[in-house]
Amino acid sequence: MAHYSRIDKIVIDVAAADHDKEVAFWSGVAGRPLAQSGRYPEYHWGEIPGQDIGLLVQRLDDGASRVHVDIHATDVDAEVARLEQLGAIRIQQVHSWWIMQDPAGLLFCVIPDGAARLNEENAVRWD
């Protein structure tokens, strides 16, 4: 089935003890506040001015601090299958998205997004 996808966010994963400092730091880097998500309070995010990619600081419950990317897709199942053909593996489903691992062992996420937001102008169409 045809779908759209794109790399949508750079995600800074940080330990709970460092979360507030990281939000303040990355807000300063971006030059604007990173808003707390009402649905998921462990996330603070914002657009990067002049860019088509956003920035998200995520508080971790456990694990080491790291950086990953979020890929948004209009059809998560189709995108996950496409990425598996490229060598990625599924690690864990969380809510409506997948945590995956690339061939080098780096984590990334595949997040559902609407067709109203992903289109010919800002994403790749996969048939």
Distance CA 83, CA 12 (A): 22
- Tokens, residue 36: 């707390």
Over residues 1-10, the pLDDT tens digits come to 799 999 999 9
Question: What's the pLDDT at 63?
Answer: 85
How many contiguous H segments (helices) and E segments (strands) does the chain have?
Answer: 2, 9
pLDDT bracket for residue 77 (50, 70, 90):
very high
Q: What is the pLDDT of residue 29?
A: 92
Cα 9 from Cα 55, distance rounded (Å):
5
Show the beta-strand stretches assigned E in the chain.
Answer: 3-15, 35-36, 43-47, 54-60, 66-73, 89-94, 97-101, 107-112, 124-126
Q: Which fold has domain 3-126?
A: 2,3-Dihydroxybiphenyl 1,2-Dioxygenase; domain 1 (3.10.180)
Mean pLDDT of 100-109: 97
Backbone torsions φ then ψ of 9, nearest 5 degrees? -140, 150
The reported pLDDT for the residue numbered 48 is 84
Q: How many CB atoms lie within 10 A of CB 85?
A: 8
Q: What is the mean pLDDT of residues 53-77?
A: 95
Query: In the prediction, which pLDDT does 23 show?
Result: 96
Produce one character per residue of 40-49: b if its CB has 16 or more CB atoms within 10 Å, e if not.
Answer: eeebbbbeee
pLDDT tens per residue, range 20-64 = 999 999 999 999 999 998 888 899 999 888 888 999 999 999 888
The Cα-based distances of 65 to 33, 118, 127 in angstroms read 21, 29, 36
Give percent of the chain above pLDDT 70. Answer: 99
The domains of the chain are located at 3-126
